[in-house]
Structure 1
Amino acid sequence: MNDRNYVLWLPSWYPNKKEPFNGDFIQRHARAVSLYESVTVISFPQFGSKVNTSHEIEEKISGKLKEIIVNLPFRPFHISVLDRIRYNLQYYLTARTYLEKYFEKFGLPALVHVHVPVKAGNLALWIKKKYNIPFIVSEQASTYMEAAPDNYFQRSFFYKLQLKEIFRKAACVTNVSGTIGLVLKKLFLIRDLHVIHNTVDTGMFCFAPQANKAFTYLHVSSLSEQKNIFGILRAFYALSTIRKDWKLVLVGPYSAQIKEFIQRKNLDQLIELTGEVSYQEVAKKMKASNAFVLFSRHENFPCVVVEALCCGLPVVSSDVAGVKEAINESNGILTAYDNEDMFLAGLLKMRETHHLYNSEQISAAAIARYNFQAIGAQFHNVYTKTKTSSGIDGY
């Protein structure tokens, strides 16, 4: 048993069999950090108190990255309050039991790194109290924006109390955007906060000369309320009354209402629905497009924006949270998140001035900023500083 030779990651969101895209940006961070550190990710997926689940453990090792997914056993009684209590008890019992056994077999970690504080942050508090191991917290959620439904300001007293305790005991905090990082700093009086952006697999998302004939706008998302998909559709319908020399590709799980809107507005020849596609296919779609569009009501630091930039696509986006930290006059156009006329003007301007953007330069600048090595090094520096201030020897 060799103590302190790895960093333990405890993510509240992480890809698993049932939810392959849940927290995939955290997984990419793990891959980036594993270029510099031995990382063990132990994820306890949260499927909720209404879902019947069985105990199952998945494990995968790639280089210095070990990923373990532990599904907790739970069978609901279909009594709402009772099931929520039982589920939370089962979650913490399963997690603590597994972690204790893991520590006995593989030794204690040097640090614990929490991603999305609730519920994983409570496990970090327990580890700190029992084993005196410091932890850092990375927050990726956009729930600190008032435009988000069920945002932090509407949550229960108990939820807020949990968050405050987690942030108070953390050695330091990181956020993927400076905008929401500043909100966290003010809300929780955080003294040591670092902005480390989302990372991109630049081997997959990179510039490639495209030869498509029709000017193509691309949107990739869950096509949900957060992404303001009907605002996007209304804006493109308005664009179709001005000019029709374009195509919009919508990538994501579309609803019957989305399809009906497109048909009712006679946009079938202009808008393509692909449904949900693989991560690799997203990269291909980006390389075959001319511009990326986003009109979200709230975000933190959206991965799709920087992935599009790495492919050399200029972006038209609503100016929410950290988007303005990635987009400037050289690589895109920002609009108000709730102004469809302004978004339409941005779409029209992009179509008219696209030839002025240098796609190769956009790609090169984004790749230099968001690649695994660059982002991994920033986390490595935070780890080194935290270990030093906590009196932890090197590996």
Structure 2
Amino acid sequence: MKILYINGFVPNKNAPMAGIFVTKRIQALRKKNITICPYIYGVRYSKPVQQYLSKIRHSEVQAEPVKKQQDVEYCVRMEKMGFLEMATAGFFPGYYERKLARLVQKDIRKEKDIDIVHLHWLWPMGAGVMRSCCKAGIPYVITCHGSDINVTMENPRIRKEMIRILERAASVEFISKALLSKAKSLGYSGKNAVVIYNGIDGDIFGNGVLKEERKSIVIFAGNLIQIKGADRLPEIFQRVYSEYGQAVEFWVIGDGMLRKELERRMKDLPVVFTGQITQGQIAQEFNSASVLVLPSRNEGYPCVIKEAQACGVIPVGCDVGGISEAVGEYGTVVRGAEKGLLQELADVIVDYLKQKRQTDRKKMVEKAREDTWEHMQEYSIENYRKILGERKRIGNRSSI
């Protein structure tokens, strides 16, 4: 089985770990002897366009894509986008998608004998994949991760096309039941859907002896952006500090546009900002911490929950997206209006720190350590085989 595998998250020098969960899937599939051809497609803006976007839209300067993530080397294909191309795309809908389709078609021919094209992240790359695969007669699979459905698909101008891409796929993988439900509420039938959860790297997270003694450390790990609820951290941390006292520490792992504001707002609290660190370093921090907080406004299925649980850290999060599915029986999810929500998150965290609220850490760790990438990708392989089996049966019937 040979798969052209597309990482739609485009890891770059500013965000080298972007889409790491796609790379983890590739590593797991290769361990199962599946031939994977890893690709990244995207847009490289010209310098004048970057300067324009920086001034008008306050966008960050575009960073160079990363060709290698851990031991997976990607073939990077970036389409040039200058003012002329932007104007053309504005006048001719589908211009950019057709250019992407031609790139994919070329790579399908180059790699030879591709059985399936698998894309992670629906839009806009999905339009190019759909066109190229329909022309080449190759089935395609799309994995939807969160904001591609929760945010992008809410746009009525492109929703119809996004639904068409999903419906024409051989299969659509959703990383949570909640995400599938959201897609259905927007008009997708779900007839070709499967739910396959994210996994964890068992060599990094939870491969040691569980530490029973825990420091009073509360961790946030993720991008410092609004959709992840990073702007809610100062109020939550202040409430925890006021209720629990000076023994508590807060660790903020990750980076993003809100970092400077958060550093300013929490300068009087015992907060450590680590910036972007490796997964191995994250695991080290988890091994001593007590609670992971997820104040997100929306989520697909956060890998960080299972990673934390595998290291003995109890997750406390908002009941949005796939958070409750990831937490399961081991942790707490809360819901409610903004003020009451943040107070309840803080109260639950304090209860865990004071051991007024408890969970069976040993069972939590055992359960989380079962959900490795290798284990979860067995479901993807089963899905691939089903697609190719059905395709073969249809081919046999048409030849009679």
- With the shorter chain as reference, the TM-score category is 0.7 to 0.9
Q: In the alignment, what sits opposite 1:361?
A: 363
How do residues 179-328 of structure 1 correspond to structure 2 at under 5 angstroms? 179-186=178-185, 187-206=187-206, 207-210=208-211, 214-244=215-245, 245-253=247-255, 255-263=259-267, 266-267=268-269, 270-328=270-328
Q: In the alignment, what sits opposite 1:348?
A: 350
How do residues 107-122 of structure 1 correspond to structure 2 at under 5 angstroms? 107-122=112-127
Structure 1 SS opposite 2:42: coil
Counterpart of 1:68 in structure 2: which amino acid? C
**TM-score with structure 1 setting the length:** 0.84
Q: In the alignment, what sits opposite 2:83?
A: 77
Say whether the 8 Å CA contact 1:334–1:346 is kept in structure 2: no
After superposition, the C-alpha distances for 1:94-153 in whole angstroms (9 at most, x for unaligned) are x445444434443131111121121221222222322111112110023544xxxx5532
Counterpart of 2:166 in structure 1: which amino acid? F
Say whether the 8 Å CA contact 1:15–1:23 is kept in structure 2: yes
Deviation at 1:90, TM superposition (A): 6.1
Deviation at 1:204, TM superposition (A): 0.5
Cα separation, partners in 2 of 1:277 and 1:110, compared to 1, 3 Å: same
Say whether the 8 Å CA contact 2:317–2:333 is kept in structure 1: yes
Q: Larger % of helix: which?
A: 2
Deviation at 1:165, TM superposition (A): 1.4
Larger RCO, structure (CA 8 Å, separation 6 or more): 1
State the alpha-carbon separation in 2 of the partners of residues 227 and 54 from structure 1: 22
Q: In the alignment, what sits opposite 1:379?
A: 380
How many pairs align? 373
Structure 2 SS opposite 1:72: strand
After superposition, the C-alpha distances for 1:170-203 in whole angstroms (9 at most, x for unaligned) are 1121100011112223421121211101121110
Cα separation, partners in 2 of 1:281 and 1:88, compared to 1, 3 Å: farther
Identity of aligned residues (%): 17
- 1:138 matches 2:137: no
Say whether the 8 Å CA contact 2:4–2:108 is kept in structure 1: no
The root-mean-square deviation of aligned C-alpha atoms, in Å, is: 3.1
- 1:27 matches 2:26: no
State the alpha-carbon separation in 2 of the partners of residues 73 and 38 from structure 1: 30
For structure 2, which runs of at least 5 residues remain unmatched after alignment? 52-61, 396-400
Structure 2 SS opposite 1:217: strand
Cα separation, partners in 2 of 1:44 and 1:188, compared to 1, 3 Å: same
Counterpart of 1:178 in structure 2: which amino acid? K
Deviation at 1:288, TM superposition (A): 2.5
How do residues 324-343 of structure 1 correspond to structure 2 at under 5 angstroms? 324-329=324-329, 331-336=330-335, 338=338, 339-343=341-345
Cα separation, partners in 2 of 1:69 and 1:61, compared to 1, 3 Å: farther
Deviation at 1:61, TM superposition (A): 11
Counterpart of 1:261 in structure 2: which amino acid? R
Counterpart of 2:224 in structure 1: which amino acid? L
After superposition, the C-alpha distances for 1:192-229 in whole angstroms (9 at most, x for unaligned) are 21110112111011154448874111111112111222
Counterpart of 1:181 in structure 2: which amino acid? L
- 1:166 matches 2:165: yes
Say whether the 8 Å CA contact 2:210–2:311 is kept in structure 1: no
Q: In the alignment, what sits opposite 1:127?
A: 132
State the alpha-carbon separation in 2 of the partners of residues 281 and 47 from structure 1: 32
